[in-house]
Amino acid sequence: MNKKRILKISMFVTVALIVIFGAALAADDGPIFNRNISRTPDTMTGASAMSVMPLYVPAQNTQGEPPDTTSGELEYYVGDCTNQDTSTCTLAYTRPEAKPLIATYNDGIEFEELNDMLGIQTGAGFGERDAFAALSLDDGATWKNVNLSDSADRSSFVLKNGHEYPGDVFKLVHQVEGNMVVAAWISRYCESGAPLYSWLDEEKTGLLAAYPELDHQVTVDGGTDPDGFYQMYMDDLFTVGGTQKSVDYTAQGFPEVGEVPYGCVWVARGTLEQALDDVSGEPLTNINGDPIYDITWRASERLTSGRRDPNRIEV
């Protein structure tokens, strides 16, 4: 058998395998599953991303109850049908558990009072938006939303024309590790948030007593501290603190943009935990006796002051 014949046979086998596996991959994999997570058609939504936690929990809706299906479990279909009518599809399998889905996005608010005063509307790069997170424990069938930033209708900066600029959230990312999630965003709102560098000395001392693992002293060339040491997590080593500033794009040839305040970096940490009763503090279970889960979000923390304008944000 010569080399040309071997080459032709190899090419034929390769093409045949591509056709076979291509047909398998193109096979109908069931109805398209769409869900409107933000449920705000009248406001602009953006910066969306989704992650999967690498663990399983009992499948449950936003109220903690099992899926509302015939089997009481998550049901997966194949065939040509829709989510609303699965009668023409075949039930492939069911599953009592689901991996938690985490979605984050920014979203405009219903009443943009500050924007109305400024004469602008929410759009690409500008607006009156908040940072949101959503959790699904039933493979995306139902979603529970939470406002992480709550800053859109607040203001920390007064423009030269006397108008307050809204605390717009314009960049948002998140990351998942185990049952933990952290979200980070940039907002034009630069007040509250209690960054550690703004704490009083006695407050820092109390924090170090409670959390000794934060006691990490470093030396800084040219530092002015009398003892020559600085706290890595407590002191403002990179001159982050200061007064929020702005840039006036009118001078750069964009009068329609005008003056825009610098942004600040914010973060929020959350953990997936069994929900507790508000009164008794006892762990909650559903009608099947399964634990009810939810994400416990800690208070949002501000990391910068608006002294500089942050750009790229990563977690």
How many angstroms separate the CA atoms of 15 and 8, rounded? 11
Q: Which residue has 């109850």 as its token pair?
A: 65
What's the pLDDT tens digit per position in 97-124? 999 999 999 998 876 555 555 555 545 5
Residue 228 lies in a domain: no
* Residue 18 pLDDT > 60: no
Residue 28 lies in a domain: no
How many angstroms separate the CA atoms of 75 and 177, rounded? 27
How many angstroms separate the CA atoms of 259 and 94, rounded? 56
Boundaries of domain holding 140: 43-68+98-195+240-302
Residue 214 lies in a domain: no
The residue with greater pLDDT, 95 or 195, is: 95
pLDDT value for 132: 97
Predicted confidence band of residue 1 (pLDDT cuts 50, 70, 90): low
What's the pLDDT tens digit per position in 184-240? 999 999 999 988 888 888 998 999 999 999 888 888 776 666 666 788 888 888 888
pLDDT value for 23: 46
Which residues partner with 103 through β-bridges?
A: 50, 134
CB 287 within 8 A of CB 66: yes
Q: Is 86 exposed, middle or buried (0-12, 13-18, 19+ CB in 10 A)?
A: middle
* Residue 24 pLDDT > 50: no
Work out how many domains the chain is built from and give that number: 1
b/e burial code for range 142-172 (CB count within 10 A of at least 16 → b): bbbbeebbebbbbbbbebeeebebbbbbbbb
Residue 223 lies in a domain: no
Say if pTM beats, i.e. exceeds, 0.85: no
Residue 202 lies in a domain: no
Mean pLDDT of the chain: 86
CB 33 within 8 A of CB 83: yes
Residue 15 lies in a domain: no
How many angstroms separate the CA atoms of 314 and 294, rounded? 25
Residue 2 lies in a domain: no
What's the pLDDT tens digit per position in 241-293? 999 999 999 989 988 889 999 999 999 999 999 999 999 999 999 999 999 99
Residue 217 lies in a domain: no
Retrieve residue 70's tokens.
């015939």
